[in-house]
A and B are shown apart, each in its own frame.
Chain A
Amino acid sequence: MTDRDHVNGARLSGNGRGRRDGVAEGPPIPEQATVLRLPRPDRGPAGEPDGAREPDEAGDPESHGASRGTGTGAEPATAAQRGESGEHSRSGEPRRSQGASIVRFPGAATTEERWAHSGQDGRTDAVPEVLPESLAEAVAFLANRLTGEYTVDEFGFDADLTEQVIAPALRVLYDKWFRVDVRGAEHLPERGGALLVANHSGTLPLDAAMTALAVHDNHPGDRFLRILGADLVFQIPVLGSLARKTGQTLACSSDAERLLGRGEFVGVFPEGFKGVGKHFSARYKLQRFGRGGFASAAIRAGVPIVPCAIVGAEEIYPKLGDIKPLARLLGLPYFPVTPFFPLLGPLGAIPLPTKWTIEFGEPIEVDGCASDGDPMEAFTLTDQVREAIQQMLYTRLERRRGVFGG
């Protein structure tokens, strides 16, 4: 334990020296390169993260410390610190031997030993070459998942998982069940922040997932739509974490503006639960657009609004009634009664195979609006977007021949 403490102490003293000049210029260059070069106890070169390998190439850690420190603080290495550095190099040996062994837990020793051997000679080619490419990719993906070698952004968005697992699963529903037809894909912004605003419906918000997939599959750059969801979504186990992993986050102004500021394409359904849970008779009648927070967010971020009309989603679960006591009991905004649910039990949860059309309208620019938060401007913009979507819905519905055939 003392050895380790010394190593840590040495690193601490090394770290504080540089970057007093402060303001970030480029990525931080950790000066712990020497430490990172030590063999890792449980991972071979295959498992080395990219982020950890970079500092090695950054060169001699000492020169960094010297050139960067402009010295307001503990510039000269004190006797104590020098002592630590000395011990650091000496303590390299015991660490190495310690790192070579794998800590065994009772009962697993024999298996682990066998695996450890197979791991050591098989590590460089964890994915054997004889495999067909698609299978090799799947194995590589699985291997990265198992070892934790993937990255998520600050919202918890796991692009890898979304692309490899969730999107293919949803694509079956998208292609075969709802046979989604996409119009106006040329209106999708190529890059930069933008806000997609769509109608919300369907009792269960499948339209959000389908819209995200429609954007991803029809955008030349495979853009991900970052949807803003209600807090209820993040309260529900499994669904909540799945929502975060697929890039959703809470519908609040700080998250919306943060995403837009990062240049993301953000999707929002301002009708909220009033839209998803509306009665079947109210289908395609846009509900109130919340407090219009999306409009102020777009104005503040200075991004265009892409109106989007989803036709077909409003008939997947025709909601005819609402069992309010049950909803209250379960803490849900409503407990739907459809022709098949709860009558047929779980079977009633199968959505009707309606034919969907998702249309992206011409982007509405917010350039003319003052960004100092004039509420009237936000209301006007809200109404303008709402009107645009309602018009698109009516036009699309007029051309529709049948609910199931399109």
Chain B
Amino acid sequence: MPSNVVLVTGVGGELGGKLLARLGSNEQLERVIGVDTVPPSQWLVDRMGRAEFVRADIRNPLIERIIADAGVDTVVHASMTAHPAGPAPRVAVKDTNIIGTMRLFAACQRSPRVRKLVVKSTAAVYGAGPRSQAVFTEDSPLKPASSRGYVSDAIDMEGYIRGLRRRRPDLTVTTARFANLMGPAVDTVLTRYFALPVVPTIFGYDARMQFVHSADALAVLEQATMRDIPGTFNVAADGVIMLSQAIRLAGRVELPVPSSALPTIAPVLRGAKLVDFSPDQIQLLTYGRVVDTTRLEQEFGYAPRWTTREAFDDYVRGRALGPVVDRESLATLAGKVATSAVSGQASGRAQPW
């Protein structure tokens, strides 16, 4: 039975908003309702088509009435914030993440018409560390870096999903664990991090980074909504780039900081409203994280169109990140220096060194 009435939470976010726009222009759906605490952007209002927006807090009992009154049969929970872009009040975010999710799931369990749940989770639930396996499959154990971080919210949420599935075995539940989103319009802690002119890294470590392009993430969420594919799936692009490589590709300057000095630097960056270095984030930037996407390609039936490298290049292009140091010219310069050393004649431009 295909979905008819879809409820999407977190449409104020990039992914949720675009999903609402896509579903809103889908003729097969009878009704599409978007929910968030913030009003939709003008961009979204122009594009959401037949979709309706309800300004509501999922922590509020109102959500149960919306689901019951509209006869919602498919709920897409996309409001979970595991990577807030900037420093956000932790208590408020945790409240929405945990209480909001519990309320929403409770409403889903209560309403007999709900038969499908799609949840946006994060690959950060696997943690990252020297004892972690190099590539995480969906069956790997979930480990938060700290018991208070956003990632632990996601792990708690996955626990609630298990509980809901136990109590409502008839429910089709699709959980998508997304790698870090990358794309021109993506605003996460990581996209802000790579936009810093001087990028602090952890000395002596070079993390393996894996991204997923926001277009692929959107396609996965949409397919999960339109089709019935129960299960948990890692969603990430093919290929890996190293953190140092990404910084070079973005034309930034790397500043290795000893891990012991990080507690000093992190508050400065947080205070300057630049990026929030949470323990989860530091763990990622130290050890990196790569997930296996075999299940996504074979069971779910979606092959990401963008590789990690292409997604990152698209982000760099889309943000118009100009090089702080033009490495290509630097490389040309190195060639020229070598030439002049060999041929014995100095070229004018090689002189500044």
Contact = CB atoms under 8 A, between A and B. Distances in A.
Interface of A: 2, 4-5, 7-9, 11-13, 15-16, 18-24, 28-32, 35, 38, 40-44, 46-47, 49, 51-52, 72-74, 76, 78-81, 84, 98-99, 101-105, 108, 111-112, 114-116, 118-119, 122-123, 126-128, 130-132, 135, 138-139, 142-148, 150-156, 158, 231-241, 244-245, 249-250, 252, 254-255, 258
Most chain A beta carbons < 10 A, residue from B223, B328, B343:
B328
Contacts of B206: 156, 241, 244-245
Contacts, number: 277
A50 to B, nearest CB: 10
Interface stretch (B86-94, B154-162, B237-245, B275-283): B237-245
B336 A128 contact: yes
A245 B245 CA distance: 12
Given A32-B314, A131-B338, A250-B134, A158 B242 contact: yes
Nearest to A2: B43
A36 to B, nearest CB: 8
Given A119-B332, A154-B290, 11 more contacts: A12-B218, A16-B218, A23-B298, A31-B305, A32-B306, A42-B322, A103-B320, A126-B331, A128-B336, A252-B133, A254-B137
Interface in B123-180: 130-135, 137, 140
B313 interface: yes
Nearest to A55: B310
A131 B339 contact: yes
A51 B342 contact: no
B184 A22 contact: no
Given A19-B305, A49-B309, A80 B47 contact: yes
B323 interface: yes
A240 B323 contact: no
A126 B335 CA distance: 6
Given A8-B318, A9-B18, A147-B327, A255 B332 contact: no
B303 to A, nearest CB: 4
A28 B304 contact: yes
B226 A80 contact: no
Contact of A46 (B208, B328, B330, B339): B328
Contact of B184 (A7, A72, A139, A156): A7
Most chain A beta carbons < 10 A, residue from B137, B309, B327:
B327
A42 B251 contact: yes
B49 A80 contact: yes
Most chain A beta carbons < 10 A, residue from B140, B249, B317:
B317
B98 interface: no
B288 interface: yes
Given A15-B216, A148-B248, A28 B238 contact: yes
A73 B302 contact: no
A131 B204 contact: no
A30 B311 CA distance: 11
Interface in B286-311: 287-288, 290, 297-298, 300-307, 309-310
A329 B149 CA distance: 29
Interface stretch (B19-27, B65-73, B264-272): B19-27
B26 A255 contact: no
B330 A146 contact: yes
B331 A146 contact: yes
25 contacts: A4-B185, A7-B318, A16-B22, A23-B301, A28-B306, A32-B305, A73-B28, A73-B222, A74-B26, A99-B317, A102-B322, A103-B320, A108-B324, A118-B349, A119-B332, A126-B328, A126-B331, A147-B248, A151-B309, A152-B241, A154-B134, A154-B290, A240-B205, A250-B133, A252-B133
A130 B26 contact: no
B199 interface: no
8 tightest Cβ-Cβ pairs between the two chains A and B: A237-B204, A22-B301, A103-B322, A143-B331, A78-B25, A148-B248, A115-B329, A119-B329
Contacts of A112: 323, 326
A241 to B, nearest CB: 4
Contact of A52 (B49, B222, B313, B323): B313
Nearest to A150: B245
A380 to B, nearest CB: 27
B34 to A, nearest CB: 15
Contact of B335 (A22, A24, A74, A139): A139
Contact of B320 (A49, A72, A98, A254): A98
B225 to A, nearest CB: 9
Contacts of B47: 9, 80, 84
Nearest to B332: A122
B255 interface: no
A105 B241 contact: no
A118 B303 contact: no
Contacts of A49: 309-310, 313
Contacts of B324: 105, 108
A389 B27 CA distance: 69
Nearest to B319: A4
B290 to A, nearest CB: 5
B262 interface: no
A341 B313 CA distance: 49
Contacts of B203: 237
Most chain B beta carbons < 10 A, residue from A5, A32, A98, A115:
A115
